[in-house]
Amino acid sequence: MGHGHGHSHDSAHRVDAALESSRAGMRALAVSFAALLVTALAQAAVVLVSGSVALLSDTIHNLADALTAVPIGIAFLLGRRAATRRYSYGFGRAEDLAGVLVVAVIAASAGLAGYQAIARMIDPHPVRHLWVVAAAGVIGFAGNEIVARYRISVGRRIGSAALVADGLHARTDGFTSLAVVLGALGVATGFPLADPIIGLVITVAILLVLRDAAREVLLRLLDAVDPDTLDLTERVAGTVPDVLGVRQLRMRWLGHTLRAELAITLAPTLTVEHAHRIAHDVEHRLVEHVPHLTAATVHTEPAA
């Protein structure tokens, strides 16, 4: 059985595309970090003058969401480093480690918010400046929704699951900010426990986000790839002239780029040079047509 490895001659272009996607991700992280930090600081100022525990919970969550940009940013920077003899696939998997840290930050913010809400139910304190609290909740919603749209759009464009998950996290945070407004309205109508109760509701919302984020991270750690992407890869490889079949396809994410390994069956009468050229054509077509795929190792096998 003969076999060859495809090696695309436009590897420099692929490296440039990967670097550009990392730069786009870094820009998204920097802008969203600044926006969420300003939002959290504005809310923190209102917490100091109002004593609202619901707003405190939301502020903690927004600050935690801003800080999740740090490990993802470090992962993007690491992913730019060239592969070494020890790390022959490069450092793209650093994004998976960043995802684990993001999940840990979300879990910590849920614990802190829940603790503050329960403590306030046991030892109630009056909430002051209710309309300012409500305004801060609206500010929190607006800041999170802007960040969510930006992170999700960039994350989907560059193929970063960590960035998309962080954007969905920010969108959920926006709705918990609106819950702060409901808490302020409840206190205003004579129900002082509305504030810590809303704080507990926000804690539950954070836990739901934690569940979804943990699932996304776990799928990446286990090398899960959308079956539709594998179907597309098999179809594209099968369109190359002289390819009789596609077998043993495996794909995995390395950060926000995909790599593939597959075997193609060819007529046994082909020369080694011809088989090698076909393997090269398969890789070139896959990189061109499969989103986020940057490299494919193509084995050639004679048809029975």
In angstroms, the CA 230 to CA 209 distance is 28
Residue 115's pLDDT is 81
pLDDT of residue 290: 93
pLDDT, residue 50, reads 80
Residue 273: both structure tokens together = 């040079």
User: Where do the domains of the chain lie, and which CATH numbers do they carry?
Assistant: 11-221 (1.20.1510), 227-302 (3.30.70.1350)
Burial readout 171-195 (b: 16 or more C-beta within 10 A, e: otherwise) = bbbbebbebbbbbbbbbeeeeeebb
Q: Tell me the two tokens of residue 130.
A: 């209710």
Phi, psi of 99 (to 5 degrees): -60, -40
- Asked if 233 and 286 touch (Cβ cutoff 8 Å), the reply is yes
Output the pLDDT for position 11.
41
Measure the CA–CA gap between 33 and 50, rounded to whole angstroms: 25
Distances (CA, A) of 144 to 40, 58, 62, 98, 150: 10, 11, 8, 21, 10
Rounded to a whole number of angstroms, the distance between the first and last alpha carbons of the chain is 11
| Per-residue pLDDT, 259 | 92
Q: What is the pLDDT of residue 2?
A: 46
Asked if residues 194 and 179 have their Cβ atoms less than 8 Å apart, the reply is no
| Residue-level pLDDT at 234 | 96
Average pLDDT by consecutive 10-residue portion of the chain (304 residues)? Answer: 44 47 79 84 82 76 77 82 87 84 80 79 72 81 87 83 77 75 78 79 82 85 91 95 94 88 94 94 94 91 88
**Stated pTM of the model:** 0.72
